[in-house]
């Protein structure tokens, strides 16, 4: 059941989203109280269910696995399994649309129309529905049908041309980060709320098109502006900055331990020299100005690196921060998990009864904070509940839908037939 309280508890969301972009966007609504119903089928489950080698779940074929990434972006949701390729399943879905506020999807363009649940069909079912489409390239243009992943969006959006170092090939943000998907999952909930507000003002259905390519390019918009004004093509700078110097990641005490430092003015430069005991560098006329430090950045990196190697990364970062120098230890996953600042913010959270530690809320509302109430649903876990409570279907009707293959009712049905574990 959905939470009775929360700033979004008045909303119902049908979540067709998969992987990060779609599922993480709808998760924000779930965290803040909306009744989010994750819609999958037995023939196409969310690929995130078995995304990693550390997936957890039964191995007898009765249920798709649940990887930690899937668990993290599908918490607080109810799960229903509908075969949208069947007429009966499509009718069940559209009947749910009539009782909902928002539909979220990030399929390839044209998939919804082929299934008979495109925006026109959704509007017929509910003239006040809002559809949030997290498309790759947008709904118009010569490339609207392209399939993209994080790597291709990094390239198309202009990010990949700016990452890495001059002597290297362009660098993707990587599958562990997948910047385009993460970016749109933070932006899309706000766009959906804007669509809902417009719906409430006009009384009409709204289609929100959130193109990941546009989001990525917006993130590097200053480089496009620079070229349009000056003709300068900005290239990769590695860890350096076009104005601040020195800036970089320097080795610290221990194996593969690092501290990040950024000096933005002359006072910070002098403070850095004091902390690292570099009087000769502070007195060197080559380093007295930012432009001089930029010109001789390689020499500075060597001098600084020789000093930072003798320091614990967290202790050194704290000393530099106390002197007004922007600095931070470079933390790895297990260090982030026990970080005091994140503990103070109560960022890391867990679902009751679930040992997986999850990311918390990226923002806070003081009177109505987000909460984690239940783990991600198993496939079809709440099908019977949703069909009974929202659509008022009888047991006989649900049994008939199961027999027709239009819906799947979870583990109670798995005892009769194994469910495919691949998408």
- Measuring CA to CA, which residue among 310, 243, 239, 302 is closest to residue 275? 310
Q: What is the dihedral of CA 145, 147, 151, 157, to 10 degrees?
A: 10
Closest by alpha carbon to 372, among 24, 79, 172, 74?
74
Helix (H, G, I), strand (E, B) or coil at 423: coil
208: Cβ contacts below 8 Å, ≥ 6 apart: 130, 131, 132, 133, 191, 192, 194, 195
Q: Which one of 31, 35, 101, 181 is the catalytic residue? A: 181
Is 200 labeled as catalytic in the residue annotation?
A: no
Record the tokens describing residue 41, joined without a space. Answer: 């089928």
Tokens of 281: 């560098």
In which residue are the tokens 């601040």 written? Answer: 244
Per DSSP, which regions of 271-314 are E strands? none
Backbone angles phi, psi at 114, to 5 degrees: -65, -30
Give the integer Cα–Cα distance in Å for 401 and 380. 13
Distance CA 156, CA 85 (A): 33
Give yes or no for a cis peptide into 246 (omega within 30° of 0): yes
List residues with catalytic annotation.
181
């Amino acid at each position: 059941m959905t939470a009775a309280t929360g700033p979004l508890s008045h909303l119902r969301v049908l979540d067709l989203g998969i992987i990060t972009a779609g599922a993480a966007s709808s998760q924000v609504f779930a965290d803040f109280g909306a009744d989010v119903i994750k819609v999958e089928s037995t023939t196409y489950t969310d690929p995130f269910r078995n995304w990693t080698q550390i997936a957890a779940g039964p191995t007898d074929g009765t249920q798709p696995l649940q990887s930690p990434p899937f668990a993290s972006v599908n918490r607080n949701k109810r799960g229903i399994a509908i075969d949208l390729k069947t007429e009966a399943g499509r009718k069940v879905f559209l009947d749910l649309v009539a009782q909902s506020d928002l539909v979220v999807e990030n399929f390839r363009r044209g998939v919804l129309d082929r299934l008979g649940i495109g925006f026109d069909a959704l509007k017929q079912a509910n003239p006040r529905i809002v559809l949030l489409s997290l498309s790759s390239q947008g709904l118009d243009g010569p490339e609207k049908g392209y399939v993209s992943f994080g790597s291709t969006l990094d390239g198309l959006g202009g990010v990949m041309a700016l990452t890495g170092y001059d002597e290297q090939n362009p660098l993707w943000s990587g599958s562990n980060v997948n910047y385009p998907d993460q970016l749109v999952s933070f932006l899309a909930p706000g766009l959906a709320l804007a669509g809902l507000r417009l719906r409430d003002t006009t009384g009409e259905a709204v289609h929100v098109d959130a193109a990941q390519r546009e989001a990525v390019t917006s993130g590097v918009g200053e480089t496009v502006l620079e070229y349009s004004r000056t003709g300068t093509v900005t290239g990769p700078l590695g860890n350096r900055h076009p104005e601040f110097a020195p800036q970089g990641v320097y080795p610290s005490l221990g194996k593969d331990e690092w501290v990040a430092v950024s000096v933005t003015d002359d006072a910070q430069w002098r403070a850095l020299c004091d902390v690292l005991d570099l009087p000769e560098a502070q007195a060197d006329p080559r380093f007295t100005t930012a432009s001089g430090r930029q010109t001789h950045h390689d020499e500075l990196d060597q001098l600084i690196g020789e000093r930072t190697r003798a320091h614990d990364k967290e202790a050194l970062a704290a000393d530099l921060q106390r002197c007004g120098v922007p600095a931070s230890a470079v933390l790895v996953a297990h260090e982030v998990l026990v970080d005091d600042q994140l503990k103070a913010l109560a960022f890391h959270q867990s679902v009751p009864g679930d040992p997986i530690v999850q990311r918390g809320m990226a923002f806070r509302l003081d009177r109505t904070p987000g909460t984690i109430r239940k783990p991600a649903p198993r496939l079809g876990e709440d099908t019977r509940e949703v069909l009974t409570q929202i659509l008022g279907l009888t047991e006989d009707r649900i049994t008939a839908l199961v027999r027709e293959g239009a819906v799947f009712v979870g583990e109670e049905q798995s005892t009769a037939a194994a469910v495919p574990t691949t998408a």
